Amino acid sequence: MPDPVFSDVTPRLGLPYVVAAQAQKHIPINESLARLDGLVQLAVESRSVSAQPASPVAGGVWILPASATGAAWAGQPSGGLMRFEAGGWEPLAQAEGVLAWVKDENQMVAFDGATWTPLSATFRATTVAQTPGLASTRLEILEQEVTLSGASTATGIAIPNRAIVLAVSTRTTVAVTGAASYNCGVSGDASKFGGSLGVAKNSSNIGVVGPTAYYADTPVLISAVGGSFVTGKVRVAIHVLRFDAPAAVA
C-alpha cells in the first residue's frame, strides 16, 4: 500500500500543518490559530459593505458582495470571507455548511457551497399532512428584517399567493426614530396585524388574525404613526398555511 500523500493544509479550513523538521514552528501554529479565531463561531461585520473599510476592527471578518472594491478586496470572489488583523487582510475559505452571524442584519446565514442564505429563508416549512399522491399541507414562516424609512416601508417578502395567513409577528430590532409608533398590515388595511406598535428596541407583537386567504403575492406594510420613519429596523415574520396539489402524472 503506498504511503498517504498529505497536503500542506487541512482540507476544510485550510489550516497549515506543522511538518517534520519544521523550522520556526510558531509561524504555521500562529497562522492556524488566527484562522480559527476568525472561523470558529463565525460572526461577520457585514455581507453588504462593498468598499474595503479604511479603519477595520482587529479580527473583523466580512462576507464580500459582488464587485467589492479596495486594494485587498478587489478581485476576490463574491461571497468569500476577508479577515483583518495586524494591519493586513487575509482571505478565508469557507466550507459548505458554515453558519455565520451577520452583525448588521441581526441574523444567521448559511453557506450552501455557492451563496449565503438566511436561515429564516432556508428552514421555514413543516409538512403537516401529505397524501400518497403528494398533495400536502405545510406550515411555513417567512421572515425578514426591514429597514424603515419615510411614511411606510413594504417587506421584500410577501404573503404567498393561495396561502392562508394565521398571524404576522414583529419585533423592533433597532429602535425606531421619527415616528411615535407604527402599524403592521397590508395595503388597504394598514393595521390588520397590529396598530400603534412599540418603537423601542425589542418591542414585539404577535398579530393573530382569523385565517385569511390571499390570492396574490402581498407584501406586509409597516406604516409610521405620528411622523415619518428616520431610522429603525423591524423583523417581520409571516405565519402561513400553504398547500400543494397532487403531483403531476407521467
How far is 152 from 238, CA to CA, in rounded Å?
A: 18
Instruction: Return phi, psi of residue 196, to 5°.
Output: 50, 50
Give 205's strand partners. Answer: 170
pLDDT at residue number 3: 44
Query: Does the reported pTM lie above 0.95?
Result: no
pLDDT at residue number 220: 98
Compare 240 and 25 and report the one with higher pLDDT.
240
How far is 182 from 53, CA to CA, in rounded Å?
A: 34
CB atoms within 10 A of CB 220: 28
- Does the pLDDT at position 230 exceed 80? yes
Give the residue range(s) of CATH 2.60.120 domains in the chain: 124-244
The CATH number for 124-244, chosen from 2.30.30, 3.40.390, 2.60.120, 1.10.3470, is 2.60.120
Across 137-154, b (16+ Cβ under 10 Å) vs e yields ebeebbbbbbebeeebbe
- Are the CB atoms for 159 and 220 separated by under 8 Å? yes
pLDDT at residue number 228: 98
Digit-coded pLDDT (tens) for 1-12: 344 445 676 555
Digit-coded pLDDT (tens) for 31-58: 655 566 456 678 899 999 999 999 998 8
pLDDT at residue number 161: 95
